[in-house]
């Protein structure tokens, strides 16, 4: 018990170290929805209105209240800042690591649990949401916690207490982000009970008492909101947040609905391959292995029954989440975050599977596992060296240092124990992720340039200037983080509509700033050619759409820093309209 506690504390502290790096900067992990929670909670603190969130003075009905309160609490402790807003998600990510370790240890063993935590920490989608001021990581934690308590109930361990904690977790998750916190843990319990014909599990969960717990946790705030806002709030919650998200409004037949389901399933498969890389490639082996292992288990021996139960829970958890979000009408990549824990555990079991010494399978699987990881480490070492030398401009000596690190990692990966190779890749990725502050120094993200643009605008003696964005590739929410006034989006994917939006923006504002990519500015400046404007500042940011050809690789081989930068960077311009010009 003491060892278990020490491991949990160690995981939590390691998570704090990794996830807290660069929280005050707007880096690769930035998400545009962050501004809603940051601004709304600032208004809560300023106005003393802690019950009904607003965004620039307008009612904000999106999502329940608990995540807003947690950010406000963080403000009270750490002060109002982006670091404080994002630190809430970092804490929940660390807690999710701990509960994932406990779940994997309960279902399998300590080695699986340790490897699962290492893999989870280095899943790119998990890392990103650990550093975002959005409610997804907190929702993920409460779902993982609820499933953990369900596992304890299934194992007949203090069913009364653990079933209550299951419903408390579901209720708190619901107060973070709605029905997913109820539906996912409930699906895991019901489907597992159905597959095993164990209705006794459902009676042990005490759903009648659980319904009372859920009402006590969730009902008071919703009653307040209905009393305050009436039918406006009810219509929004029932139609916009529930019906329109759960149901595909365009599906008029079973065939069309099935087609929509398949399209969304394909979308989420691509999300898993990209946002869970490099681990996602091993899912192609982990899923078949898990089914094969499950169907091969025979007998009533205690260890066999427990292992069968563990694989069933993991597979039910994984596929119920995947299918649930494929049914919903919206396609949003961060929905897959709640797959991260079963994903990490299934991948760790794949690596620790002893396939035996005989046959093609016994020879090929260990070879593929080990050498794919070595390839990923090689790619990661090259990319990180490229960032340090070419983008940050550090000495070429760093290439030799990282090459030596690569050789040491490869030697460790070649050990016969299957635990070492994925553990080395996890540690390497943890090291890279802990250097996220380098992204800001390298101007890999646009925010260092946006910060300079914002400083120019805020220094303008005319404090009433309007601020807009005239390129569809630049998200106005990315620029919004630097202002206390609302930034206007004056562009979309249509050039004609963008021209109209720009004309409207400049005609309504005598004094205004607008941000463009240079290419868009040259392409669509005709609608504002009669306006009295001037170019105030030009900056370079990383290209959103890169065109890499053989010239890039030639420049790379010749260490031609300037030419490499030209391929990777694009110019952004800030213009100023002034009625006095």
pLDDT in tens, 444-458: 677 778 888 889 998
Name the pLDDT band for 531 (thresholds 50, 70, 90).
low
Query: Which pLDDT score is estimated for 380?
Result: 85
Query: Which pLDDT score is estimated for 537?
Result: 86
Name the pLDDT band for 241 (thresholds 50, 70, 90).
low
Cis amide prior to 80 (ω within 30 degrees): no
Query: Which pLDDT score is estimated for 412?
Result: 86
Name the pLDDT band for 528 (thresholds 50, 70, 90).
low
- Spatial distance between the Cα atoms of 511 and 466, rounded to a whole number of angstroms: 6
Query: Which pLDDT score is estimated for 530?
Result: 58
pLDDT in tens, 251-264: 567 788 888 889 99
- Percent pLDDT > 70 in the chain is 89
State the sign of the Cα–Cα–Cα–Cα dihedral 489, 88, 217, 173: positive
| pLDDT mean over 27-36 | 76
Residue 272 is encoded by which pair of tokens? 């898993």
Low-confidence winner among 23-37, 103-117, 174-188 (lowest mean pLDDT): 23-37
Query: Which pLDDT score is estimated for 157?
Result: 86
Query: Which pLDDT score is estimated for 529?
Result: 56
| pLDDT mean over 56-81 | 92
Residues whose CB falls within 8 Å of the CB of residue 429, separated by 6 or more in sequence, listed in order = 122, 380
The pairing of strands 58-59 and 488-489 is unpaired
pLDDT in tens, 284-296: 889 988 898 888 8
Looking at the predicted structure, is the pLDDT value of residue 38 above 70? yes
pLDDT in tens, 383-408: 888 777 776 777 778 778 888 888 88
- Spatial distance between the Cα atoms of 382 and 314, rounded to a whole number of angstroms: 35
| pLDDT mean over 543-547 | 66
Residue of higher predicted confidence among 112 and 578: 112
- Spatial distance between the Cα atoms of 563 and 98, rounded to a whole number of angstroms: 46
Choose from 17-21, 142-146, 541-545 the range with maximum mean pLDDT: 142-146
Looking at the predicted structure, is the pLDDT value of residue 540 above 70? yes
Query: Which pLDDT score is estimated for 276?
Result: 94
pTM: 0.87
Residue of higher predicted confidence among 73 and 241: 73
Name the pLDDT band for 42 (thresholds 50, 70, 90).
very high
Query: Which pLDDT score is estimated for 434?
Result: 77
* Exposure b/e, 107-133, CB count within 10 A at least 16 = b: bbeebbbbbbbbbbbbbbbbbbbbbbb
Residue from 516, 503, 425, 504 nearest 470 by CA: 516
Low-confidence winner among 117-131, 292-306, 351-365 (lowest mean pLDDT): 351-365
Residue 516, SS3 per DSSP? strand
Q: Distance of CA 380 to CAs 87, 131, 383, 415, Å?
A: 27, 21, 5, 20
Query: Which pLDDT score is estimated for 477?
Result: 85
Query: Which pLDDT score is estimated for 322?
Result: 94
Name the pLDDT band for 282 (thresholds 50, 70, 90).
very high
Q: CB under 8 Å, gap of 24 or more: what pairs does 284-288 form?
A: 285/350, 285/365, 285/368, 285/369, 286/346, 286/347, 286/349, 286/350, 287/315, 287/318, 287/346
pLDDT in tens, 82-106: 999 999 999 999 999 999 999 999 9
Low-confidence winner among 109-123, 268-282, 315-329, 563-577 (lowest mean pLDDT): 563-577
Query: Which pLDDT score is estimated for 526?
Result: 54
Element (H, E) at 188: helix 180-195
Name the pLDDT band for 356 (thresholds 50, 70, 90).
low
Name the pLDDT band for 299 (thresholds 50, 70, 90).
confident
Looking at the predicted structure, is the pLDDT value of residue 249 above 60? no
| pLDDT mean over 302-307 | 83
Looking at the predicted structure, is the pLDDT value of residue 432 above 70? yes
Query: Which pLDDT score is estimated for 43?
Result: 93
């Amino acid at each position: 018990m003491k060892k278990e506690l020490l491991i949990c504390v160690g995981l939590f502290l390691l998570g704090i170290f990794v996830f807290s790096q660069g929280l005050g900067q707007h880096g690769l992990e930035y998400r545009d929805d962050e501004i809603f929670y940051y601004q709304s909670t600032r208004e809560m603190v300023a106005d003393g209105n802690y019950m009904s969130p607003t965004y620039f003075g307008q009612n904000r009905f999106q999502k329940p209240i608990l995540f807003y309160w947690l950010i406000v609490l963080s403000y009270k402790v750490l002060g109002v800042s982006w670091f404080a807003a994002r630190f809430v998600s970092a804490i929940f990510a660390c807690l999710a690591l701990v509960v994932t370790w406990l779940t994997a240890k309960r279902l399998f063993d300590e080695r699986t649990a340790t490897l699962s935590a290492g893999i989870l920490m280095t899943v790119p989608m998990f890392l990103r949401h650990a550093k975002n001021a959005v409610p997804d990581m907190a929702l993920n934690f409460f779902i993982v916690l609820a499933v953990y308590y369900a596992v304890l109930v299934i194992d007949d361990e203090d069913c009364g207490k653990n079933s209550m904690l299951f419903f408390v977790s579901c209720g708190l998750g619901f107060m973070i982000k709605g029905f997913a916190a109820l539906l996912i843990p409930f699906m895991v319990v019901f489907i597992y009970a159905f597959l095993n014909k164990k209705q006794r599990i459902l009676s042990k969960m005490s759903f009648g008492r659980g319904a009372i717990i859920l009402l006590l946790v969730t009902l008071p705030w919703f009653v307040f909101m209905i009393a305050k806002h009436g039918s406006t709030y009810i219509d929004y919650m029932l139609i916009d947040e529930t019906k329109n998200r759960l149901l595909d409004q365009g599906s008029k037949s079973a065939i069309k609905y099935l087609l929509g389901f398949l399209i969304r399933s394909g979308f989420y498969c691509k999300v898993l391959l990209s946002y869970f890389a490099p681990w996602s490639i091993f899912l192609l082996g982990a899923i078949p292995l898990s089914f094969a292992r499950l169907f091969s288990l025979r007998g009533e021996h205690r260890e066999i029954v427990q292992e069968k139960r563990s694989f069933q829970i993991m597979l039910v958890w994984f596929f119920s989440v995947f299918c649930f979000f494929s049914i919903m009408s919206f396609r949003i990549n961060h929905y897959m975050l709640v797959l991260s824990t079963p994903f990490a555990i299934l991948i760790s079991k794949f690596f620790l599977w002893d396939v035996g010494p005989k046959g093609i399978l016994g020879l090929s699987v260990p070879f593929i596992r080990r050498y794919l990881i070595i390839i990923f480490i090689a790619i990661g070492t090259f990319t990180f060296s490229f960032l340090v030398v070419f983008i940050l401009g550090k000495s070429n000596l760093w290439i030799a240092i990282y090459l030596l690190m690569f050789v040491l990692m490869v030697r460790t990966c070649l050990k016969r124990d299957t635990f070492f190779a994925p553990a080395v890749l996890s540690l390497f990725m943890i090291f890279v992720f802990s250097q996220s502050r380098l992204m800001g120094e390298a101007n890999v993200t646009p925010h260092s340039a946006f910060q300079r643009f914002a400083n120019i605008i805020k220094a303008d003696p005319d404090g009433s200037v309007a601020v807009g964005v005239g390129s569809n590739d630049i998200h106005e929410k990315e620029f919004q983080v630097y202002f206390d006034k609302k930034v206007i989006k004056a562009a979309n994917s249509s050039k004609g509509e963008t021209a109209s939006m720009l004309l409207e923006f400049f005609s309504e504002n005598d004094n205004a700033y607008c941000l463009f990519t240079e290419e868009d500015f040259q392409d669509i400046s005709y609608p504002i050619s009669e306006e009295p404007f001037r170019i105030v500042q030009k900056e370079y940011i990383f290209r959103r759409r890169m065109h890499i050809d053989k010239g890039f690789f030639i420049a790379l081989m010749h260490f031609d820093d300037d030419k490499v930068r030209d391929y990777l960077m694009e110019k952004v311009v800030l213009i100023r309209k002034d009625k006095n010009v």
